[in-house]
């Protein structure tokens, strides 16, 4: 086929010595329509017949050199230069052998339509050309699957050489490539059947990279959506929430895996599930695989309200295995209802070794030192708020920025989180009012208790589907209602049994500042390895004592051999500061811990328990007290 404006010119047969002569090599994706009469190509001898020599120009195109036009002796698979004399109506190609001592080689690419990935739905059955970045390489028992990202979306390209054998082994995750292939539907999903894959380099690669990065950066900008409620603190946090939402959206658009870690209580679960639903929704909008929400997204609860070494080691184990086995990028880690304190530093430093980016959405009192390890940090303390703005409230607002379409499904989660975390902030009442026609305050309390009870038995598992039922996200209201009732009944029976054992052993004293102090050894006066655990047990004891001493400031300390859990009302403590001071004042105490200002926990070595408790009580005795009017 002649190019427009170019005449076909037949050179004399013979020994051509023009050093400026161009010889063409056909790429694997080319077919008959890419062959032009008069041009010289590099071919390979396929076989012989009485009337001539068969020559392959590539795996899909071959022609015949008549015996009268053969110039030299060849064997099968020899390289040969041939000029196209004629292309017959039946597709047969007439060739002649030529000899050229000096020439330049130019690659012939498939004449195909250049398209964006978002346009593939309208190109089924057609051969197209795409340019993008390899985001993942997965070797199946059949073809090699390349996940390609361009400025418009994400799709898969399947290349096959032999069952289970890696196609284009030179291509790596992160390479910029040009792919030619036919658009097909496989299992109701679009897929490009690769005919040719070329790794771009130099200026070509840089041009494509800049184009993709610029477009994805623009796509990642969160939509403008108003807050669910009127809140000065949340309004001040909007820029930080938008920043984190953009980072998460960009991870989705570039097929970067996401690991979401959250504290294993009702507040943390609500925060994590809200973002989980938003991310999965955006993945599906972006054209990810039907099971991408399982291999590109993982939500995992953390027992402690910080990112423990145990957590990061588990996450690194999964991430590095997926990186080697599936060619996945290292993940973005999202920490929710944890991540703001010095206790998170060891895990953050380890994540930094592997170049893992991390964002935090939390309401624990923050330590500025953690920010050097984060690419985004949402915390109400940064704008004058406090822990009353719970992680579930923050997570729901961020989720709406990630994918606004999930709002109707998750708008009750902040109310559940607020009552579950005993928030006294004005935002709690506003979120409750937002959903009161569907969920009463008691409904929200029951859901929160059901979540705590369920998560205790789930241990480290996320319980994705059953948690959806507890939160009424699966669309089966009757099952939701019955499940919550069952969980609440079990939780309340367990709590009552635990309190019956605990309350007779509570010790009481009145501190010099007027606070009523209560201590309970939950190691020897509470059931072990069952619900409620020590922290929850201490909280339940505290709630009953607050009712009994309704007009007084109350502090409850539940302790064991090497830990203490603090709950307070009307006592203006700063637990993280107390922990730092005790660490300096009691050498050999092995003291660590933290949490919110007035709710938290402390760890220490067992042999120093009495000294640590005495030091802690002495500090509580000095702080200001006062109940809200």
Among the residue ranges 141-150, 181-190, 561-570, the one predicted with the least confidence is 181-190
377-402 burial by CB neighbour count: b if 16+ within 10 A, else e?
bbbbbbbebbbbbbbbbbbbbbbbbb
Q: DSSP secondary-structure letter at 388? A: T
User: Is domain 22-108 classified as CATH 2.40.50.140?
Assistant: yes
> What does the pLDDT average to over 498-522?
96
Among residues 161, 164, 193, which one has the least CA distance to residue 179? 193
Terminal-to-terminal C-alpha distance of the chain: 89
Tokens of 43: 């071919």
> What's residue 629's pLDDT?
55
> What's residue 328's pLDDT?
81
Which residue's structure tokens are 């292939």? 181
Q: What span, in angstroms and rounded, lies between the C-alpha atoms of 525 and 542? A: 15
pTM for the full predicted model? 0.81
> What's residue 19's pLDDT?
52
Please state which architecture CATH assigns to domain 506-622.
Answer: Roll (3.10)
pLDDT at 322 over 90: no
Among the residue ranges 77-91, 106-120, 517-531, 612-626, the one predicted with the least confidence is 106-120
Alpha helices in 144-231 (DSSP H): 202-220
> What does the pLDDT average to over 524-547?
95
Tokens of 30: 């080319």
Range(s) within the chain of domains with CATH label 3.90.1640.30: 221-438
pLDDT at 14 over 80: no
> What's residue 124's pLDDT?
92
Range(s) within the chain of domains with CATH label 3.10.310.40: 506-622
Structural contact between residues 261 and 334, judged by C-beta atoms closer than 8 angstroms: yes
Confidence tier at 112 by pLDDT (50, 70, 90)? low
pLDDT at 484 over 60: yes
Structural contact between residues 337 and 267, judged by C-beta atoms closer than 8 angstroms: yes
Q: What span, in angstroms and rounded, lies between the C-alpha atoms of 586 and 112? A: 74
> What does the pLDDT average to over 324-328?
77
> What's residue 525's pLDDT?
96
Q: What is residue 66's three-state secondary structure?
A: strand
> What's residue 113's pLDDT?
66
Question: What fold, for 113-219?
Answer: OB fold (Dihydrolipoamide Acetyltransferase, E2P) (2.40.50)
> What's residue 108's pLDDT?
86
pLDDT at 485 over 50: yes
Q: Which long-range contacts (CB under 8 A, 24 or more apart) does 549-552 make?
A: 549/516, 551/627, 552/514, 552/515, 552/516, 552/627
**What residues have CB less than 8 Å from 586, skipping those under 6 apart?**
608, 611, 612, 615
> What does the pLDDT average to over 374-384?
97
pLDDT in tens, 271-302: 999 999 999 999 988 876 666 777 789 999 99
Among the residue ranges 62-66, 81-85, 598-602, 610-614, the one predicted with the least confidence is 598-602
Beta bridge partners, 63, equal 55
Range(s) within the chain of domains with CATH label 2.40.50.140: 22-108, 113-219
> What's residue 333's pLDDT?
98
Q: What span, in angstroms and rounded, lies between the C-alpha atoms of 554 and 538? A: 13
Tokens of 407: 């709002």
Measured in whole angstroms, the distance separating CA 115 from the mean position of its chain's CA atoms is 28
Average pLDDT in the chain: 91
> What does the pLDDT average to over 326-350?
93
H or E element, residue 546 = helix 534-548
H or E element, residue 91 = none
User: Residue 202, class by beta-carbon neighbours within 10 Å (0-12 exposed, 13-18 middle, 19+ buried)?
Assistant: exposed
* In 337-496, beta strands by DSSP E: 358-361, 376-378
Please state which architecture CATH assigns to domain 221-438.
Answer: Alpha-Beta Complex (3.90)
102-130 burial by CB neighbour count: b if 16+ within 10 A, else e?
ebeeeebbbebeebbbeebeebeeebbbb
Backbone φ, ψ for residue 455 (5° rounding) = -65, -30
pLDDT at 451 over 70: yes
pLDDT at 137 over 70: yes
Q: What span, in angstroms and rounded, lies between the C-alpha atoms of 579 and 558? A: 16
Q: What span, in angstroms and rounded, lies between the C-alpha atoms of 497 and 554? A: 23
pLDDT in tens, 399-440: 999 999 999 999 999 999 999 999 999 999 999 999 999 999
Handedness of CA 614, 615, 620, 621 (dihedral sign): positive
pLDDT at 191 over 60: yes
> What's residue 229's pLDDT?
98
pLDDT in tens, 207-225: 999 999 999 999 999 999 9
Among residues 100, 115, 127, 114, which one has the least CA distance to residue 39? 100
pLDDT at 17 over 60: no
Q: What span, in angstroms and rounded, lies between the C-alpha atoms of 112 and 25? A: 17
**What residues have CB less than 8 Å from 97, skipping those under 6 apart?**
53, 65, 69, 70, 71, 72, 80, 81, 82
> What's residue 325's pLDDT?
77
pLDDT in tens, 246-274: 999 999 999 899 999 999 999 999 999 99
Tokens of 385: 């708020």
Q: What span, in angstroms and rounded, lies between the C-alpha atoms of 557 and 523? A: 12
Instruction: Annotate 249-300 with DSSP letters as a single string.
Output: HHHHHTT--EEEEEESSHHHHHHHHHHHHHHHHHHHHTT--TTHHHHSEEEE
Q: What span, in angstroms and rounded, lies between the C-alpha atoms of 304 and 263? A: 6
**What residues have CB less than 8 Å from 607, skipping those under 6 apart?**
none
Percent residues over pLDDT 70 in the chain: 96
A 10 A CB-CB count for 555 gives 26
């Amino acid at each position: 086929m002649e190019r427009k404006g170019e005449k076909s010119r037949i050179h004399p047969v013979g020994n051509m010595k023009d050093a400026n002569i161009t010889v063409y090599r056909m790429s694997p994706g080319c077919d008959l329509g890419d062959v032009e009469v008069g041009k010289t190509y590099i071919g390979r001898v396929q076989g012989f017949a009485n009337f001539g020599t068969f020559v392959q120009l590539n795996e899909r195109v071959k022609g015949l050199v008549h015996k009268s036009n053969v110039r030299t002796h060849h064997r099968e698979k020899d390289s040969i230069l041939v000029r196209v004399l004629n292309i017959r109506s039946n597709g047969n190609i007439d060739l002649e052998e030529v000899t050229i001592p000096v020439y330049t080689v130019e690659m012939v690419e498939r004449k195909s339509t250049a398209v964006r990935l978002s346009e593939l739905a309208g190109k089924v059955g057609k051969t197209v050309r795409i340019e993008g970045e390899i985001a993942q390489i997965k070797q199946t028992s059949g073809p090699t699957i390349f996940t390609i990202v361009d400025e418009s979306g994400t799709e898969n390209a399947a290349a096959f050489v032999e069952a289970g054998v890696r196609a284009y082994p030179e291509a790596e995750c992160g390479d910029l490539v040009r792919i030619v292939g036919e658009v097909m539907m496989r299992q109701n999903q679009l897929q490009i059947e690769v005919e040719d894959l070329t790794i771009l380099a130099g200026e070509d690669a840089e041009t494509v990279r800049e184009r993709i990065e610029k477009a994805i950066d623009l796509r990642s900008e969160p939509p403008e959506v108003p807050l669910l409620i009127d809140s000065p603190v949340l309004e001040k946090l909007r820029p930080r929430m938008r920043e984190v939402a953009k980072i998460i959206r960009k991870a989705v658009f570039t097929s970067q895996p996401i690991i979401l870690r959250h504290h294993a209580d009702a507040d943390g679960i609500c925060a994590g599930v809200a973002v989980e639903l938003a991310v999965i929704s955006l993945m599906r909008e972006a054209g990810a695989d039907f099971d991408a929400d399982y291999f590109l997204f993982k939500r995992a609860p953390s027992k402690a309200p910080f990112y423990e070494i145990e957590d990061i080691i588990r996450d690194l184990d999964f991430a590095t295995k997926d990186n080697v086995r599936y060619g996945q990028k290292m993940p973005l880690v999202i920490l929710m209802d944890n991540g703001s304190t010095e206790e998170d530093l060891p895990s953050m430093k380890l994540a930094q070794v592997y170049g893992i980016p991390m964002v935090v959405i939390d309401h624990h009192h923050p330590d500025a030192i953690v920010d050097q390890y984060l690419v985004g940090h949402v915390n109400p303390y940064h704008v004058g708020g406090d822990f009353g703005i719970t992680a579930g409230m923050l997570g729901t607002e961020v989720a709406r920025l990630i994918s606004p379409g999930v709002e109707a499904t998750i708008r009750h989660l902040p109310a559940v989180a607020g009552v579950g975390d005993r928030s006294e902030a004005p935002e709690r009442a506003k979120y409750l009012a937002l959903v009161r026609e569907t969920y009463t305050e008691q409904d929200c309390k029951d859901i929160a208790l059901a979540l705590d009870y369920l998560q205790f038995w789930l241990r480290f598992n996320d319980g994705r589907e059953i948690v959806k039922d507890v939160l009424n996200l699966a669309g089966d209201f009757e099952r939701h209602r019955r499940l919550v009732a069952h969980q609440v009944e079990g939780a309340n029976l367990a709590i009552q049994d635990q309190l019956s054992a605990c309350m007779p052993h509570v010790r009481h004293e009145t501190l010099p500042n007027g606070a009523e102090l209560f201590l309970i050894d939950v190691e020897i006066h509470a059931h072990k390895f069952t619900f409620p655990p020590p922290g929850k047990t201490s909280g339940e004891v505290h709630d009953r004592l607050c009712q009994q001493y309704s007009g007084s400031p109350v502090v409850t300390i539940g302790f064991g051999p090497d830990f203490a859990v603090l709950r307070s009302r009307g006592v203006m403590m700063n637990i993280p500061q107390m922990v730092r001071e005790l660490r300096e004042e009691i050498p050999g105490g092995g003291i660590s811990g933290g949490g919110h200002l007035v709710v938290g926990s402390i760890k220490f070595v067992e042999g120093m328990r009495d000294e640590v408790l005495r030091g802690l009580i002495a500090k509580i005795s000095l702080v200001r007290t006062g109940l809200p009017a």
